Structure 1
Amino acid sequence: MHALTGRIVLAAGFMFFANAASAHVGFGPTVGFSNGLAHPLFGIDHLLAMVMVGAFASQLGGRAIYLVPASFVGSMMIGAALGVLGFNFGLTEFGIAASVFTLGALVAFRSHLGLVSAMALVAAFGLCHGHAHGTEMPESVNGLVYAAGFMLMTATLHAAGVSIGLLITRITSRYGDVVLRSLGAGVALVGAGLMAGAM
């Protein structure tokens, strides 16, 4: 069972690894609520990072289940505003790639970070993701509506990650933790490819 799970995760990781360098922002129009909703679903880096934030929160349990994702979304809003205003972080793309790797690794190793540390870490990543989106957005009402869409989808993906984490560990009981940690390892592998492409 363990060997089979490992092979599946490794194969999935290599499949995504091939496209790692071109995974992030710049896909599709950046105006309108529906475009904002769709945008996070078409960037593998954002999609995986959001789900891993939720899975990581589910592993920590307790108040982390909602406070860790909330810290990401709140920081993402700040990052988006800074992006729209023209502030340049310099390492935004690398930070986004690092978020995929780090969050996957945290899930893979079942990290027991304290609540404040976990919130601070995901907030730093949220700033990077938000900044990347903000630099794409027009300074208009359409841009704000777009932002509302991608914020809502981000929160939805966090909730999906929490649900996946809880369901895997509870329904599959004996092997649940192994399956979830294996998924984290696969995401970390994708993140390593993204980091290589962002350098």
Structure 2
Amino acid sequence: MHLRKALYAIALFLSPAVAFAHAGHDHSGLMSGVAHPITGLDHLLAMLAVGLWAAQQSGTARWAVPVTFVATMLLGGVLGFSGVEIPLMETGIAGSVLAFGLLVAVAARLPMAVALGLTALFALTHGVAHGLELPDLASPWGYAAGFVAATAALHGLGYLVARYLPRAAAPLVRIAGGASAITGAWLLAG
């Protein structure tokens, strides 16, 4: 019952993004920021996979992985707002879909430093991409608040699904990771 309520709350929170994703409606940037991680397949899959992977971890890693992602993504967003570009950014984003998908598919538990370093590296590419795509006339801070909130919600959704799925359906999480990894490989090839 708690899972259903959480999923409804997340869906309600994210639903306005679709209606206001078009230019001209939102000069605060908030709704454009919310829409960006949700409407891009690469961002959407990576964000959900981070939540799924965090749920497969134990101890501190359960919260440290998504918090590291969000914090580093915000730093990348600020760099993007400043016009900083990083080499192979799109490759890094597609690679994150592949990597996080594989990590979920095999339920990997890496040493904390490796897990957080990998998470931060990929989060930086997502953040710079978000920052570089700041809509005209939008407030950078409103936009950042939107993509941070949407990312955290997607991480939370992935986490809740993995943690509260009935034990008999648990292999579905690994299958979802495999599907994400395949999509990431397809994105890298394209």
TM-score higher than 0.5: yes
The percentage of aligned residue pairs carrying the same residue is 41
Match of 1:85 among 42, 67, 82: 82
Match of 2:38 among 28, 38, 41: 41
Matched, 1:103 2:96: no
Q: SS of 1:111's equivalent? A: coil
Query: In the alignment, what sits opposite 2:177?
Result: 184
Q: Deviations over 1:114-151 (max 9, x none)?
A: 22211111111100000001111269771221111111
**Contact residue 95 and residue 128 of structure 1 kept, 8 A:** yes
CA RMSD in angstroms, aligned pairs only:
1.8
Query: In the alignment, what sits opposite 1:55?
Result: 52
Q: Deviations over 1:55-108 (max 9, x none)?
A: 111111221121100000111011111111122212100000000000000111
TM-score normalized by the length of structure 2: 0.82
Match of 1:94 among 82, 91, 94: 91
TM-score normalized by the length of structure 1: 0.78
Query: In the alignment, what sits opposite 1:76?
Result: 73
The CA distance in 2 between the partners of 1:129 and 1:148, in whole Å, is: 15
Gaps spanning 5+ residues in structure 1: where?
A: 1-26
Matched, 1:135 2:128: no
The CA distance in 2 between the partners of 1:130 and 1:148, in whole Å, is: 12
Q: Which amino acid aligns with 2:158?
A: G
The CA distance in 2 between the partners of 1:140 and 1:83, in whole Å, is: 16
**Contact residue 81 and residue 140 of structure 2 kept, 8 A:** no
Write the mapping of 1:4-19 to structure 2, written as runs, cut at 5 A.
Answer: none
Count of residue correspondences = 167
Gaps spanning 5+ residues in structure 2: where?
A: 1-20
Query: In the alignment, what sits opposite 1:22?
Result: none
Deviation at 1:179, TM superposition (A): 1.6
Write the mapping of 1:153-172 to structure 2, written as runs, cut at 5 A.
Answer: 153-168=150-165, 171=166
* Cα pair distance change 1:116/1:139, threshold 3 Å: farther
The CA distance in 2 between the partners of 1:141 and 1:152, in whole Å, is: 17
**Contact residue 69 and residue 155 of structure 1 kept, 8 A:** yes
